[in-house]
């Protein structure tokens, strides 16, 4: 089939999509009604259906013209799935548009998600009409009933005894279907799907990161990047998702305060720099002065007058040196040329810090740090779960690291692994005020975003040092 639709461009196809679950598995079948442009590639239809039903694109999927998995039934899938299947002839879903396969009321198509649980969605054409000028290429019209959780097919009919026998707790029921929120997610999904081929318009390091993504989890990462406004929107999108106005001066000073305090201490020591102790540490007076900037919640208990016994100050100094704002020469701590420019202007300092994120020393730290930035850029706390599976920051980190290929002993990274890999970037985000810990329990992980968090993370994903 060609990319020229059998339906004329400018045509809207109204679809009813119903998840075919048995009555003893769920009390009611989830369904959605959507209006889609006939020229929309099936790959974009897949993204719209994922968002419409709340799936997370964590598994393989296929479209079938006929009974799924039956001999002779034509199917369409991702380029990788088509290339790797030696048993049947699939067609690349990026090369086929909706109007190629559904042309008139009554036409049907099956969309199967998770080729293990086999969630089968029956797609039926309700109407075919001309699309009004200016109408969106995708619109979620109606729907009801939440879809089940990912990977839950085998346990849908379990009762309390079954869960107990398997040593597991029953899952929390999904929230009720929210038409308004789901409409928003469908639009965001189409922005992501439409943006994927246009990597020439994305900052080079983001492009390099995207080329690593393989497998099902890559869809969620692409989705969040588009939601953050980092990946450009194309003709299927409804316009830009955000407007990054500059932060005011107070917000800039607050964001760079820890590094500015360190630079100020060194600058006030004079042109010859700050004299270090014989062991190479900051003098006690400097440690006392810096502790409030390095540890504003005073999680560190102690006199805080020796750098070697005050990790928050030692880490701040190490981070500032790693940013190439400070250097050590002949027992003195000196400002670098970049440090002098940054000390004179908070906005220059902020740009310098953001250009060098994610903070990393190893490849896994870089990848986890990039995912943490993407989470914050979409308003999510990186280590926090979501109300629904796939919605939380930790879900993004897990899916992204899986899609790149990171594992421990052949298994997906645990929350502790993800936290460790992302730590350098999480520390930097906390210094910027983008992540905040609970004041009552400051030893807990950050659990909320600062007022400028989304802005700062989006800028970090867009700004990079001159090449």
Residue 381's nearest CA partner among 425, 434, 431, 427 is 434
Helix (H, G, I), strand (E, B) or coil at 143: strand
Asked whether the whole model's pTM tops 0.95, one would answer no
Q: Domains of the chain: which residue ranges? A: 11-177, 199-241+357-462, 249-353
Q: Which residues are bridge partners to 329 per DSSP?
A: 332
Q: Which residues are bridge partners to 90 per DSSP?
A: 75
Cα separation of 298 and 243, whole Å?
Answer: 36
Residue 229's nearest CA partner among 218, 215, 243 is 243
Alpha-helical (H) ranges within 269-414 are: 284-294, 311-322, 337-344, 346-355, 363-377, 393-404
CATH class assigned to 11-177: alpha beta
pLDDT in tens, the chain (467 residues): 333 345 666 789 999 999 998 755 567 899 999 999 888 888 889 989 998 998 888 889 999 999 999 988 999 998 888 888 877 789 988 888 898 899 999 999 999 999 888 899 999 999 999 988 767 778 999 999 988 877 765 455 556 666 567 776 666 666 788 998 888 888 766 655 544 434 444 566 677 787 777 655 666 787 777 777 676 543 333 333 333 457 888 999 999 999 999 999 999 999 999 999 999 999 999 999 999 999 887 787 778 899 999 999 999 999 999 899 999 999 999 999 999 999 999 999 999 999 889 988 899 999 999 999 999 988 899 988 876 666 788 988 998 898 888 888 888 889 999 999 999 999 999 999 999 988 878 788 888 999 999 889 988 888 765 54
**Omega before 358 cis (within 30°)?**
yes
């Amino acid at each position: 089939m060609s990319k020229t639709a059998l339906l004329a461009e400018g045509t809207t196809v109204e679809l009813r999509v119903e998840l075919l679950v048995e009555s003893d598995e769920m009390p009611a079948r989830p369904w959605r009604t959507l209006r889609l442009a006939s020229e929309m590639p099936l790959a974009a239809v897949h993204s719209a259906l994922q968002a419409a039903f709340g799936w997370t694109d964590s598994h393989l999927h296929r479209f079938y013209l006929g009974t799924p998995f039956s001999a002779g039934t034509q199917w369409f899938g991702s380029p990788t799935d088509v290339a790797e299947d030696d048993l049947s002839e699939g067609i690349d879903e990026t090369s086929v548009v909706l109007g190629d396969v559904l042309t008139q009321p009554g036409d049907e198509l099956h969309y199967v998600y998770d080729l293990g649980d086999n969630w089968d969605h029956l797609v039926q054409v309700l109407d075919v009409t001309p699309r009004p000028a200016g109408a969106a290429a995708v619109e979620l019209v109606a729907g009801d009933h939440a879809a089940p959780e990912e990977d839950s097919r085998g346990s849908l009919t379990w009762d309390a005894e079954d869960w107990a026998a398997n040593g597991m707790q029953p899952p929390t029921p999904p929230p009720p279907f929210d038409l308004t929120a789901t409409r928003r997610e469908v639009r965001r999904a189409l922005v992501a799907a439409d943006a994927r081929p246009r990597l020439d318009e994305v900052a080079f390091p983001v492009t390099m990161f995207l080329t690593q993504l393989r497998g099902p989890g890559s869809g969620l990462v692409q989705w969040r990047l588009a939601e953050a406004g980092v990946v450009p929107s194309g003709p299927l999108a409804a316009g830009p998702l955000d407007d990054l106005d500059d932060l005011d001066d107070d917000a800039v000073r607050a964001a760079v305060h820890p590094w500015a305090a360190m630079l100020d201490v060194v600058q006030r020591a004079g042109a010859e720099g700050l004299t270090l102790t014989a062991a190479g540490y900051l003098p006690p007076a400097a440690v006392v002065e810096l502790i409030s900037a390095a540890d504003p919640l005073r999680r560190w208990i102690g006199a805080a007058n020796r750098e070697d016994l005050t990790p928050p100050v030692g880490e701040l100094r190490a981070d500032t040196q790693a940013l190439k704002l400070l250097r050590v020469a002949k027992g003195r701590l000196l400002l670098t040329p970049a440090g002098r420019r940054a000390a004179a202007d908070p906005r220059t300092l902020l740009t310098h810090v953001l250009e060098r994120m994610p903070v990393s020393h190893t490849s896994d730290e870089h990848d986890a740090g990039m995912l943490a930035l993407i989470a914050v850029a979409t308003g999510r706390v990186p280590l926090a779960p979501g109300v629904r599976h796939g919605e939380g920051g930790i879900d993004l980190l897990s899916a992204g690291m899986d899609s790149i290929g990171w594992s421990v002993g052949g298994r997906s990274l645990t929350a502790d692994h993800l936290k460790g890999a992302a730590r350098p970037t999480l520390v930097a985000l906390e210094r910027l005020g983008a992540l905040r810990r609970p004041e009552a329990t400051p030893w807990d992980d950050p659990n909320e975003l600062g007022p400028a968090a989304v802005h700062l993370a989006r800028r970090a994903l867009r700004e990079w040092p001159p090449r």
